[in-house]
Amino acid sequence: MLSDDRSGRFNDGKSAASRKVRLWSLADGVEIRGEDGFLIAVWKTADLVDDGELPGGKGLRMRCKAEPDARLTVEAAVFVRPVAKRGTFHWRIPAAMALGVAVLVGLYLALPNLARQIALVVPLETERGWGNQIAAGFERQMRACRTPEGNEALTRLVERLAAGLPPERRAVNLRVLDNAAVNAIALPGAEIIVFRGLLDQAGDPDELAGVLAHELTHVGERHPAANLIRGIGVGVLATMITGDASGMVASGAATVMAAAYTRDDEAAADRGALRLLKQAGIGSAGFATFFRRLEVLEGGKGLLPAWLSTHPETASRAAAIDAAADPRKLPPSLRDAEWRAVKSICGKAV
């Protein structure tokens, strides 16, 4: 409450005029009168809101809840009794924020499962469409390698391994592309791409069979489609969190998170590969040998620590395969002539 009769400025909230006023204290409020003594308004103490000091410290500002647009500036006044402070603490803001954070964290944790569930309901035809598009993109950048003998041998090997997959996933399309990368990738919709570098490095057909069994497990468990959906999900989530829609944060987050998420998929594919090899009657020793070979190529250590790279460390993967190895002595997965045809599918002599 105001101490005594004071002068001030009044804005009625209807026009931008500023009136000089005199203020009179009442028992339960303040009376605002014009300089001519004419009564303008009576503001009840219970409705008064302290609007703080005038910038520069030349008076106090006040409002009245009953007339939200009106403003009062009291010159050289002090409050002798506290009036309601503006900006009292609201629990709703931190509550809303905690809820928001909880939703984001929940979405982040649920994302891998969510993506998997969505991938399961995507029709096979749609998924094949995605895979074809991506594979076509690769084929425009790299030469596709094809020879009748080589493709026949590869198809036979893939069909033998794919027999362990769910029936609708068995029709796998395999392409060999002329590129030095020692890699093979599974695409959505039962597409597998093998790069020439992998065929060059593989020492015997069982090594190739191991890699193919690994990629076929990805196909059987629909990992590529789930990855695609998850990548988009991570991007959307990153945008929701940071508000950056330029895609920079989103793609960076997608890359880092893809690495973290896919390690589980890779371990699952290694386990599944062992099962497929066993069902096809192919030994798993070649699979382990291939990882040892990769380790040598990588120079003993991967460039990236395991938690960042998409694949678990090759040495530990080889050890895991060895631990589950089939002790039986089995014939090689391809005959010599077939293996030669596969090795020279890109036109290079063995």
Partner 1 sequence: MQSRIQASRPFRHHGGTGAMIAVALVNLALSIATLSIWRFWGRTKVRRLLWSGVTAWDDPVEYTGTGGELFKGFLVALVVIYLPLLGLYTWAQALVVSGDPLGTILLSVLYPLTVFLIAAGAYRARRYQLSRTLWRGIRGGQTGSAWGYALRSMAVWLLLPLTLGWVWPWGEMWLARYRLDNTCFGDRRFCCDAGVAGLYGRFAVAWLCIMAYVGLVSLLFVQTFLDSMQTGELDEAAAPMIPVMLLGAVIVMTLPWAWYRAGFYRAMAGGTTFEGARFSAQVTTWTLIRLSIGNGLISLFSLGVLRPWVALRIFRFACGVLAVDGVPDFAGIRQGWDKGPKTGEGMVSVLDGVGEF
In angstroms, what CA-CA distances link 62 with 2, 43, 316? 11, 10, 72
Part of the chain binding partner 1 (CB under 8 A), chosen from 15-23, 152-160, 172-180, 276-284:
15-23
Cross-sheet strand order for the sheet of 173-177: 144-145, 173-177, 191-195, 184-187
69 binds partner 1 per the rule CB under 8 A: yes
13 binds partner 1 per the rule CB under 8 A: yes
35 binds partner 1 per the rule CB under 8 A: no
73 binds partner 1 per the rule CB under 8 A: yes
Inter-residue contact 153 to 341 (CB < 8 Å): yes
* Cβ nearer to partner 1, comparing 50 with 298: 50
344 binds partner 1 per the rule CB under 8 A: no
Inter-residue contact 326 to 250 (CB < 8 Å): no
299 alpha-carbon distance from chain centroid: 31
* Cβ nearer to partner 1, comparing 69 with 264: 69
CB of 97 to partner 1, least distance (A): 5
Residues between 225 and 254 that touch partner 1 (CB under 8 A)? 232, 235-236, 239-246, 249
* Cβ nearer to partner 1, comparing 252 with 332: 252
Part of the chain binding partner 1 (CB under 8 A), chosen from 30-38, 69-77, 147-155, 198-206:
69-77
Inter-residue contact 237 to 111 (CB < 8 Å): yes
* Cβ nearer to partner 1, comparing 12 with 313: 12
Give the pairing type, strands 84-85 and 67-74. unpaired
Which one of 22, 42, 130, 309 is in contact with partner 1 (CB under 8 A)? 130
Nearest to 260 by CA among 109, 129, 73: 109
CA distance 327 to 124: 38
97 binds partner 1 per the rule CB under 8 A: yes
Burial class (CB in 10 A: 0-12, 13-18, 19+), 224: buried
126 binds partner 1 per the rule CB under 8 A: no
In angstroms, what CA-CA distances link 225 with 73, 124, 220, 308? 65, 10, 11, 21
Binding site for partner 1 (CB under 8 A): 9, 11-18, 52, 54-56, 58, 61, 69-71, 73, 93, 96-97, 100-101, 104, 130, 132-134, 136-137, 140, 232, 235-236, 239-246, 249
